[in-house]
């Protein structure tokens, strides 16, 4: 093979000129395809970045495409929702019982302690491990904190300015994404939560079941704490 036959360095092909992104229908198709293909939510900025500098998507076209796609989901089994990290398609809650049959493993249940600790961190953050123990009246199992950190639902956000400088825990963007929240302001009041299971997000297309994010441990057969028990824990009242 001579030098003229040697392939040039690979370059990603540019979109064809006849498919200029000025066509809002094309922008919408690109956005829809990207959201279906992505393993995680995509932000508006990430969607704009899909278009090359020479053929940028018109200003406002991504937002229009997202709005149109959301409207197109009306009456369908999936919904396009916005969470903290961006937008994603999810299976609607009302069809989860059928879709869930695709997966052999039954979603595990959380332990009472895990739910209480997660609720305390979510509603009282930033909070230290010692403060959690003082509210609950029992020691915090280190494995629960480790598990929640490994699942990226909580993280250390600082240290309390007291002797020993204990770690302060707070929730993460992944926590918001999992529970279908754009910000902590969207957390429902504790008085409105009948069961922590109501936090369960709609079923993402990319995951078998939302609860399976906790499949590797801390599973129990005890029922979830009642609203009064969680309310007492988060407000500092002992039963």
**b/e sequence 27-37, b meaning 16+ C-beta within 10 Å:** bbebbbeebee
CATH 3.40.50.20 fits 112-235, yes or no: no
Q: What angle do CA 230, 193, 228 make, to 5 degrees?
A: 35
Structure tokens at 148: 């929640």
List per-residue pLDDT tens for the chain, 239 residues long: 554 554 444 455 555 544 455 578 999 999 999 999 999 999 999 999 999 888 899 999 999 999 999 999 999 999 999 999 999 999 998 998 898 888 767 666 778 889 889 999 999 999 999 999 999 999 999 999 999 999 899 999 999 999 999 999 999 999 999 888 999 998 888 666 555 444 444 333 333 333 333 233 333 333 334 444 444 544 444 43
What are the structural domain ranges in the chain?
Answer: 22-101, 112-235
Model pLDDT, residue 209 = 32
**Fold type of domain 22-101:** Arc Repressor Mutant, subunit A (1.10.10)
The answer for residues whose C-beta is within 8 angstroms of residue 209's C-beta and 6 or more apart is 100, 103, 105, 107, 203
Within the chain, how many helices (H) and strands (E) appear? Answer: 9, 6
The two domains 22-101 and 112-235 share their CATH topology (first three levels equal) = yes
**Alpha helical stretches, state H, 138-237:** 142-150, 173-178, 227-235
Q: What is the helix, strand, coil percentage profile of the chain, to 5?
A: 45, 15, 45
pLDDT value at residue 5 = 52
Distance in angstroms (rounded) separating the CA atoms of residues 127 and 120: 8
């Amino acid at each position: 093979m001579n030098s003229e036959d040697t392939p040039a360095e690979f370059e990603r092909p540019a979109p064809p000129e006849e498919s200029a992104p000025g066509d809002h229908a094309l922008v919408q198709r690109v956005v829809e395809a990207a959201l279906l293909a992505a393993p995680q939510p995509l932000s508006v900025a990430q969607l704009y970045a899909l278009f090359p500098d020479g053929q940028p998507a018109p200003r406002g076209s991504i937002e229009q495409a997202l709005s149109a796609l959301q409207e197109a989901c009306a009456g369908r089994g999936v919904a396009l929702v916005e969470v903290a990290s961006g937008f994603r398609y999810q299976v609607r809650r009302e069809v989860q019982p059928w879709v869930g049959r695709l997966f052999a493993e039954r979603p595990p249940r959380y332990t009472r302690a895990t739910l209480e600790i997660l609720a305390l961190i979510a509603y009282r953050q930033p909070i230290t491990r010692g403060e959690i123990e003082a509210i609950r009246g029992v020691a915090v199992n280190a494995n629960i904190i480790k598990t929640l950190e490994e699942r990226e639902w909580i993280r250390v956000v600082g240290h309390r300015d007291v002797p020993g400088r204990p770690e302060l825990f707070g929730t993460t963007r992944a926590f918001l994404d999992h529970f279908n929240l754009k910000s902590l302001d969207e957390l429902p009041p504790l008085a409105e939560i009948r069961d922590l299971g109501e936090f369960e997000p709609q079923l993402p297309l990319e995951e078998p079941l939302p609860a399976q994010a906790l499949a590797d441990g801390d599973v129990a057969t005890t029922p979830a704490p009642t609203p009064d028990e969680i309310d007492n824990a988060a407000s500092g009242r002992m039963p």
